[in-house]
Structure 1
Amino acid sequence: MLTLHITSSFLALALGAGILLLAKGTRQHKYAGRVWVLAMVSSAISSFWLGGGVLPVFGQLGPIHLLSVWILWAVCQAIRTARRQEITHHREWIRGAYIGLVVAFVGTLLPGRWVSTQLGLW
């Protein structure tokens, strides 16, 4: 599960940055967006099988898992607004989901988290 989570997270980070640079509404944008959504959902869902590291709140789940819930909600809303052609709202939900992913990534670098320990940051 860790490999899926890390792979999908880095794919979503990189692809998300690229999508922000693409022209909007094109086939490339729509295809890349679908792959990005799949990566985001895979990352968020796989996180529930990984420990929270610090401050466990419910079993192995910690506060960082709230970001996974947020990402799932934001991605669902982004899809809904895109289908309704509510482009301004779609853009806002996408940005919110991407910012959530970036925050989650930064959170993995905090003291006590597995990634920061493996990298010897703290």
Structure 2
Amino acid sequence: MAFTLHLYASFLALGLGAIVLLSTKGTMLHRIMGSTWVLAMALSALSSFWFGGGVLPLLGHFGPIRLLSLWVLVALAVAVLAILKGRVEQHRSWMRGAYLGLVGAFIGTLAPGRWVAVQLGIW
């Protein structure tokens, strides 16, 4: 269940995030898509904690990718608080950073030994 949630939330966040970043800012559509994106990102990051570390476990079964999940959760919180306080530039920077974290995590799934890389026959 956690894997399925993670997979769907991650792909939704990956696609929707690109659209939100490229679309007109401040509109109702931006707010709706952005809120949906934040929810998808949070679900993706939170669901990742139920997986093993795969390669390079650092603490128990948690690997470096969990540090990225933790960072994404912090980035989302800071970004949402920033926009609620009217700090648009801070919001924009943290949202871009959170999206880049997601892209980094996606690239990380293609590393040797990771499930996605194995399934795709990359390694």
User: Which bin holds the TM-score, normalised by the shorter protein?
Assistant: over 0.9
1:60 corresponds to 2:61: yes
Q: TM-score, normalised by structure 2?
A: 0.97
2:21 equivalent in structure 1: 20
Give the paired residue count: 122
Segments of structure 1 that go 5 or more residues without pairing to the other structure are none
Q: TM-score, normalised by structure 1?
A: 0.98
CA distance in 2, matches of 1:115, 1:22: 30
- Give the drift of 1:57: 1.3
- Give the drift of 1:39: 0.1
CA distance in 1, matches of 2:21, 2:43: 20
1:11 equivalent in structure 2: 12
Q: Which SS does the other structure have where 1:92 is aligned? A: helix
1:106 corresponds to 2:78: no
Q: Which SS does the other structure have where 1:97 is aligned? A: helix
CA offsets, 1:61-114, max 9 Å, x none? 101110000000000000000001100000000000000000000000000111
- Give the drift of 1:21: 1.7
Q: Which SS does the other structure have where 2:50 is aligned? A: coil
Instruction: Summarize the alignment of residues 1-122 of structure 1 with structure 2, pairs less than 5 Å apart.
Output: 1-122=2-123
- Give the drift of 1:52: 1.6
Cα RMSD, aligned residues only? 0.6
Write out the 4+ residue segments of structure 1 that deviate beyond 6 Å after TM superposition: none
- Give the drift of 1:120: 0.8
- Give the drift of 1:60: 1.4
Moved more, 55-64 or 31-40: 55-64
CA distance in 2, matches of 1:60, 1:72: 19
**What is the identity percentage for the equivalent residue pairs of Structure 1 and Structure 2?**
57
Moved more, 56-65 or 41-50: 56-65
CA distance in 1, matches of 2:73, 2:55: 22
